[in-house]
Structure 1
Amino acid sequence: MSSSRQASRPLDVVIRNAVLATASDTTPCEIGIRDGIVAVLGTHLPRGRSEIDALGRIVTPGGVDGHCHIDQPMAPPVRLSDDFESGSRSAACGGTTTIIPFAAQRKGGSLREAVDDYHRRAAGRSCVDYGFHLIVSDPTPTVLRDELPEQIAQGLSSFKLYMTYDAVKLSDHQILKLLALARDHGATALVHAENTDCIAWMTENLASAGKIAPRYHALSRPLLVEREGTHRAIALSELVDVPILIVHVSGHEAVEQIRWARGKGLNIFAETCPQYLLLTAEDLGVDDSYTGARCVCSPPPRDRDSQEAIWHGLADGLFTIFSSDHSPFNLGGAHGKHPDGKEVPFPRIPNGVPGIETRLPLLYSEGVLGGRITLNKFVELTATNPAKLYGIHPRKGTIAVGSDADLVVWGTEPVLLGNHMLHHGADYTPYEGMGLKAWPVCTMLRGEVIWDGVTFTGRAGAGQFLRRGSSSMLGTRSAARPA
């Protein structure tokens, strides 16, 4: 259809009385949508087939959660409490319209097999658009020569490298090979930066002293473990001359390492998560009870000084993105925080907390409305920068003519957060009882309302798989539109 005929067609949806917020601007605006795309921005737009009155509320781009774990295979009896349907539904109700979880290679297994399995798990189930990161745990010559370049070319343009966890950890030599591959193929490398031998030594000492309650998880992973891993990851990045993303930064000592690297002119990206703003080590318990298992994650929540360092890093640009690191396990039953239905020593407690639905409301409420970050910084951290970093901008992560009409209308009525109001598969939230100042009253995916503030109105299978290009933050080509 010609552009003139396209422009003459009625708009499918017009959003009126909106205050549009992007990473750079905030302005009153009407939004016209046609065929799932933002067709026009302006004032006094003609009537659409459907009209939405935003009532003067803020409208932001749909969130892009670049770090979440959904239906990822686990060693029995443990399993995640969210599949693609429940996890993506929860994302939508919290204002997130794009998710990028992980297709994890098994040691001794094929990367292709891991990706094929993950496509099967996602097919027909996701309620929002989605892509995959890779987790490379066994970089064999075949993986390095054939499988990983093949997957990058097919739109899985980012992969995660672990310095810890026996099932996935890599040596520095292996990491160097993978970083060189990322450089040569325009991929984005994510690094979980903790010193595995320090953790193992601390864990052995604690266990031999009978200190096995959940609260000792934090003692087994002190700040210096993250500091050393972060410094080493930066050094490996510098040696190969390739940018990296340090994921889920939790402590002020790791923040200092990243600031040092930036001061040297190194291109180091950084990510943090809600648990490092709102939880502390005390949430893992102040005694030897098992209740702290609900907040066991790695790195663990830190102290108030680290919280302040993270807030400052969000405000001043140290952090590139803000993700959930959603890794949900049930408290009840035999497959989550009580493996086989038992209280277990802290090294056996599954690591992770749920947070895909609460990520945006927590940061909007505590950050924007709490006066710690600007509204535009909120959009940058939660939508625009993740879309740029992971090769899906400007289709995602902004409100602009030609972008997908993924939109969130924000209400600012008080909300008392409880797990009963959430839509994930987990049986708890670590933020139970917290008073919030904001929650999405409308989420749109490609022009369709999938959350109306009360009811989820989307459907499983509506989400499209996103074939991603190289990161635009690396100065390389932008993402191709997926088939």
Structure 2
Amino acid sequence: MGFDLIVTNGIIVTASDVLSHGIEIGIKDGKISCLGTCLPRESSTEIIDAKGAYITPGGVDSHVHFAQDNSPTGDNWETGSRSAIGGGTTTVLAFASQRKTEDSVLPCVEEYHKRAKDQSYCDYGFHLILTNPTPSIMEAEMPLLISQGITSVKLYMTYEPLKLGDSQLLNVLMSARALGFTTMVHAENSDIISLITDRLEAAGHTDPFFHAISRPQIAENEATYRIISLAELTDTPILIVHMSSEIAMKHVRKAQTRMLPIHAETCPQYLFLLSERLKGTHKDKFEGAKCVCSPPLRHDPKDLEAMWRGIANGTFTTFSSDHAPSTYDHAGGKKLGMKDGVMRYRNIPNGVPGVETRLPLLFSFAGREKDSKLSLQRFVQLTSSDPAKLYGLEGTKGSIAPGYDADLVIWYPETEMKEGVVIEQKNLHHGVDYTPYEGMTVKNWPRFTILRGKTVWDRENGGIMGKMNAGKFLQRGKGRIVAGKTGQEVNGMLTGERNYWY
């Protein structure tokens, strides 16, 4: 049969099963050729001994920000993708962003292709951020982008340079229903946030902690309910990104129980960090700026536990990093919020780094132990298989099965990780100067990351093994619905009523 690589002596985890110890993975030409026992070796066959450790699919991080104009001190494609493979992620989906003044999306997509070409250590794809969805874009340019493998868009309900009004949201949702692209939504009520921010500033409350005060959970809750209503009206599947609020999550859960195709995503910061992290220290009163992100960190440990419930019970379809870093100690980074000794949180770039720590943080709570918060299979669903399905990569990424790309994470055997791994900035590979998870201990870390059959990360032998131009642009197909179904009538409307206007 002639395998290029055989991974042996591991415990394979998929979205549905934990396979018996001893099943080997045979890899040929960058693809998984077969799973079996006693696979035939040749003199040229490379062998990796997993030493009894778990093997999971390469991570699919479906929400990262690399080389963004609004984050000039953040990660570019080289540093961001390097960080991804160091943490077991082999596929990232990043954002090409249209400006409101642009009446075409093609130039920004072309420019983003240039930024990523030959600069990525891992495979990658693009979402389109739509800020000016003109009829010509929706009717002529979106079908073209879909044919080129860009099959998802992100919409904002907040941020003045980005936000869309309800009529614009409805028009995009109807186009998404007709064309079949996946729609992501940042759901926060912009007017609530603007009013509170202005009043806080007038009262002199401008240090980083007040970022959390300015964006209360009700802003997320209202916008979540509203976008679910708009999606139901138009019969359109959506994914609500980086959710942080229990009530907002309950809106999603309720919609899912009615079989509406409403998907949701959360991120590590909403499982591990609280708003107290936005407060400065005696040594550095501005240090809380490191953890400014939107939605903001919430106040109560119960908020963290609520997000863990959504992780475990299936409310969340994906678990992304929302990696959106800015250098802390830089006048053009987080320090934009400090001028002449005065702190102004509204000027602090939003976002935290997390693409490298995403998998280890969640893996620490996956397993069969009594203190585990989710199963190993659920871990794979959230971090690999479901984002691959939702974003048009099913059959290529997100699973360990014949025909899929040979993207693998080989963890350490538990006997070699009794003390765990302490997360430290000095050991990470991103291009910024801090991690919000500094000092936290995780129970494991990827020993090997394998991208299309090639070892690109070997923690014990130099770390980064791959080349910067190893990553390929992924021409994605149309995503499929993971939760719910389309074709349902809206409560209170006549059967077929939307046919009059849709």
Q: TM-score, normalised by structure 2?
A: 0.90
Distance of aligned partners of 1:238 and 1:377 in 2 relative to their CA distance in 1, 3 Å threshold: same
Code of the residue aligned with 2:95 in structure 1: it is F
Code of the residue aligned with 1:314 in structure 2: it is I
Q: 2:115 aligns with which of 117, 121, 142?
A: 121
State whether residues 72 and 80 of structure 1, in contact with CA within 8 Å, keep that contact through their aligned partners in structure 2. no
Code of the residue aligned with 1:143 in structure 2: it is I
Q: 1:37 aligns with which of 31, 56, 59?
A: 31
Q: CA deviation at 1:474?
A: 6.5
- 1:172-206 Cα shifts (integer Å, max 9, x gaps): 00000000111001110000000000000000110
Distance of aligned partners of 1:277 and 1:354 in 2 relative to their CA distance in 1, 3 Å threshold: same
Match of 1:479 in 2: none
State whether residues 80 and 327 of structure 1, in contact with CA within 8 Å, keep that contact through their aligned partners in structure 2. no
Q: CA deviation at 1:150?
A: 1.5
Match of 2:466 in 1: 458
State whether residues 12 and 35 of structure 1, in contact with CA within 8 Å, keep that contact through their aligned partners in structure 2. yes
1-structure distance, mates of 2:16, 2:250: 27
Code of the residue aligned with 2:317 in structure 1: it is T
Q: 2:170 aligns with which of 162, 171, 176?
A: 176
2:408 is equivalent to residue 407 of structure 1? yes
- 1:227-279 Cα shifts (integer Å, max 9, x gaps): 00100010000111011001000011111111221233311000000000000
Code of the residue aligned with 2:17 in structure 1: it is D
2-structure distance, mates of 1:149, 1:40: 36
2-structure distance, mates of 1:313, 1:162: 23
2:263 is equivalent to residue 259 of structure 1? no
Match of 2:89 in 1: 96
Q: CA deviation at 1:40?
A: 1.3
Code of the residue aligned with 1:11 in structure 2: it is F
Gaps of 5+ in 1: 1-7, 476-483
2-structure distance, mates of 1:313, 1:205: 34
Coordinate RMSD, CA, aligned: 1.5
Map 1:33-72; keep pairs closer than 5 Å: 33-48=27-42, 49-72=45-68
Q: CA deviation at 1:473?
A: 2.3
2-structure distance, mates of 1:234, 1:131: 26
Q: 1:439 aligns with which of 405, 420, 445?
A: 445
2:208 is equivalent to residue 221 of structure 1? no
Q: CA deviation at 1:339?
A: 2.0
State whether residues 60 and 399 of structure 1, in contact with CA within 8 Å, keep that contact through their aligned partners in structure 2. yes
Match of 1:313 in 2: 310
Map 1:276-355; keep pairs closer than 5 Å: 276-285=270-279, 289-302=285-298, 303-339=300-336, 342=339, 344-355=343-354
2-structure distance, mates of 1:292, 1:221: 16
Q: CA deviation at 1:341?
A: 7.0
Map 1:182-261; keep pairs closer than 5 Å: 182-261=176-255
Gaps of 5+ in 2: 484-502
State whether residues 128 and 152 of structure 2, in contact with CA within 8 Å, keep that contact through their aligned partners in structure 1. yes
Match of 2:16 in 1: 24
Match of 1:153 in 2: 147
2-structure distance, mates of 1:87, 1:235: 36
Q: CA deviation at 1:285?
A: 1.1
1-structure distance, mates of 2:201, 2:258: 40
Q: CA deviation at 1:23?
A: 0.4
2-structure distance, mates of 1:135, 1:314: 26
Identity %: 50
Number of equivalent positions: 464
Distance of aligned partners of 1:221 and 1:341 in 2 relative to their CA distance in 1, 3 Å threshold: closer
2-structure distance, mates of 1:422, 1:316: 31
State whether residues 36 and 447 of structure 1, in contact with CA within 8 Å, keep that contact through their aligned partners in structure 2. yes
Code of the residue aligned with 1:139 in structure 2: it is P
Q: CA deviation at 1:148?
A: 2.0
Q: 2:455 aligns with which of 449, 459, 477?
A: 449
1-structure distance, mates of 2:280, 2:115: 39
Secondary structure in structure 1 of the residue aligned to 2:304: helix
Q: TM-score, normalised by structure 1?
A: 0.94
Match of 2:491 in 1: none
State whether residues 389 and 482 of structure 2, in contact with CA within 8 Å, keep that contact through their aligned partners in structure 1. no
Match of 2:423 in 1: 417
2-structure distance, mates of 1:206, 1:433: 33
State whether residues 7 and 25 of structure 2, in contact with CA within 8 Å, keep that contact through their aligned partners in structure 1. yes
State whether residues 386 and 482 of structure 2, in contact with CA within 8 Å, keep that contact through their aligned partners in structure 1. no
